[in-house]
C-alpha cells in the first residue's frame, strides 16, 4: 500500500464529521500552539536572566498569530475564552458553544504548559529555583502576578481596559464594513495588537489577556509542586483577577465597539441607494477602479481657481 492510499484510508476512518467536535479539536490545537510558543519565549527570558520586554512582547505576539492561523479556518481561531465571550455577547458566535470552547482552550493551554515545562525543566530548576519566595519568577513563565505596589482594584481595572482594547480592536479587524484587512492578515494583525498591548500595559499585571493560559498555567504549576501559593498573592486570591477580569473586559470592549461603530453602519440597501444617487449627480462618468464618492469629491479638470 502506498503512503497516499494509507493516508486516504486513515482520513476516512478518523475524520471527525461532527462540526462541534472539529471546532473543539481546532481550538485545542490553536491554543496549544499559542501557549507553547508564548511560554517558550518567556522561559527563554527567565532562564537567561534577561528582562527584555521587546523580546517578551513580540514573542507572545507571534505566538498569538500562529495560534490563530492554526485554527482560523476551522473554528474561527478564538484561542482565548475572552474572544469567544466577546463574540458571543454580540451575537457573532453561539453562546451555547462558549463553555465547550473554554474547555478546549484550557485543555490546549494546559498541555502546552506541561510540554514547555518539560522541555525547560533543567533550565527552570537550575536558573529559577522552585520555592515559595520565588514563585513569581518561576511561575511567571506560565502564569501572571501583579507588579510591586499594584492593588487589586487597579489590577482588575487594568484587565478590563487591556482586554477591552483587545476585543474591541479585534472586532474592528473583523468588521468588513470598516476597512477590515484580508482574512489571511487577521492573525498577524492580532499578534501585533497583542504585542502593542503588552508593551503599553504589561507592567501592572503582566497582561494576562487570556484566562485559558493563565488558569491552566496555575494548575500545571500546582501539579509541579510549586504549592498553593501559585493561586495567591500576599495571602489573597490573586488568580480571580486574571481569570475573570479579562471576561468582564471582553464584554466591555465588544459592546463599546458595537455601540460606537458597528451598529451605526447604514444597511446595505441604504448604502447602495446613496451610491446610485451620487453617481447621478456626478458631472463626469467615474473612471474605472475608482469609487463614486471619491469622484464626487474631485473637481473637474477644466475648473479653474
Delimit the domains of the chain by residue range: 15-268
SS3 276: helix
Give CATH for domain 15-268.
Answer: 1.20.1080.10
Residue 296, pLDDT above cutoff 90: no
pLDDT tens for 31-46 read 999 999 999 999 998 8
More confident residue, 232 or 220: 220
Nearest to 94 by CA among 78, 73, 71, 107: 78
Share of the chain above pLDDT 90, in %: 59
Q: How far apart, in whole angstroms, are the C-alpha atoms of residue 242 and residue 240?
A: 6
Question: Within 10 A of 147 (CB to CB), how many other CB atoms are there?
Answer: 15
Share of the chain above pLDDT 70, in %: 84
The pLDDT score that the predictor gives to residue 225 is: 84
67 contacts: CB under 8 Å, gap ≥ 6 = 30, 31, 32, 33, 34, 35, 37, 77, 79
The pLDDT score that the predictor gives to residue 41 is: 94
Cell of 83: 474572544
Amino acid at each position: 500500500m502506498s503512503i497516499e492510499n494509507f493516508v486516504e484510508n486513515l482520513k476516512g476512518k478518523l475524520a471527525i464529521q461532527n462540526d462541534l467536535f472539529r471546532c473543539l479539536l481546532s481550538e485545542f490545537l490553536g491554543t496549544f500552539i499559542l501557549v507553547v510558543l508564548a511560554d517558550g519565549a518567556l522561559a527563554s527570558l527567565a532562564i537567561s536572566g534577561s528582562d527584555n520586554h521587546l523580546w517578551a512582547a513580540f514573542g507572545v505576539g507571534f505566538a498569538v498569530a500562529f495560534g490563530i492561523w492554526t485554527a482560523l479556518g476551522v473554528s474561527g481561531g478564538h484561542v482565548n475564552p475572552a474572544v469567544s465571550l466577546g463574540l458571543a455577547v454580540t451575537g457573532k458566535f453561539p453562546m451555547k458553544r462558549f463553555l465547550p470552547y473554554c474547555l478546549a482552550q484550557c485543555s490546549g493551554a494546559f498541555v502546552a504548559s506541561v510540554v514547555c515545562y518539560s522541555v525547560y525543566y533543567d533550565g527552570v530548576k537550575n536558573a529559577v529555583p522552585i520555592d515559595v519566595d520565588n514563585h513569581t519568577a518561576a511561575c511567571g513563565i506560565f502564569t501572571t502576578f501583579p507588579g510591586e505596589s499594584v492593588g487589586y482594584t487597579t489590577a482588575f481595572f487594568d484587565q478590563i481596559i487591556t482586554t477591552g482594547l483587545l476585543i474591541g480592536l479585534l472586532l474592528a479587524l473583523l468588521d468588513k464594513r470598516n476597512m477590515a484587512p484580508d482574512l489571511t492578515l487577521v492573525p498577524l494583525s492580532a499578534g501585533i495588537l497583542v504585542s502593542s498591548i503588552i508593551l503599553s500595559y504589561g507592567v501592572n499585571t503582566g497582561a494576562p489577556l487570556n484566562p485559558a493560559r493563565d488558569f491552566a498555567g496555575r494548575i500545571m504549576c500546582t501539579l509541579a509542586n510549586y504549592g498553593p501559593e501559585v493561586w495567591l498573592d500576599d495571602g489573597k486570591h490573586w488568580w480571580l483577577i486574571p481569570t475573570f477580569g479579562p471576561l468582564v473586559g471582553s464584554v466591555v470592549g465588544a459592546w463599546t465597539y458595537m455601540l460606537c461603530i458597528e451598529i451605526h453602519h447604514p444597511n446595505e440597501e441604504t448604502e447602495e441607494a446613496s451610491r446610485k444617487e451620487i453617481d447621478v449627480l456626478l458631472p463626469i462618468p467615474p473612471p474605472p477602479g475608482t469609487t463614486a464618492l471619491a469622484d464626487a469629491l474631485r473637481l473637474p479638470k477644466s475648473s479653474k481657481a
